Amino acid sequence: MPFYYILNLFLYFPEDKREYIPAAITCTIFLIAAILTMRLIIKVSKYQEEKAKQLEERLKRENVIHSEK
pLDDT tens digits in sequence order for the chain, 69 residues long: 567 777 777 777 788 999 899 999 999 999 999 999 999 999 999 999 999 999 999 999 888 877 766
At 26 the pLDDT is 97
Distance between CA atoms of 50 and 66, rounded to whole angstroms? Answer: 24
Task: Report yes or no on 68 lying in a domain.
Answer: no
**41 found inside a domain:** yes
Write out the residue range of the structural domain in which residue 42 sits.
17-62
69 in a domain, yes or no?
no
Residue 37 lies in a domain: yes
| pTM of the predicted model over 0.75 | no
Question: How many domains, the chain?
Answer: 1
Tell me if 4 is assigned to some domain: no
What is the three-state SS of 2-63?
Answer: HHHHHHHHHCCCCCCHHHHHHHHHHHHHHHHHHHHHHHHHHHHHHHHHHHHHHHHHHHHHHH
Taking the CA atoms of 51, 57, 61 and 64 in sequence, report the sign of the dihedral they define. positive
Residue 1 domain flag: no
Residues 6 or more apart whose Cβ sits within 8 Å of residue 20:
14
Please give the pLDDT value at position 8.
72
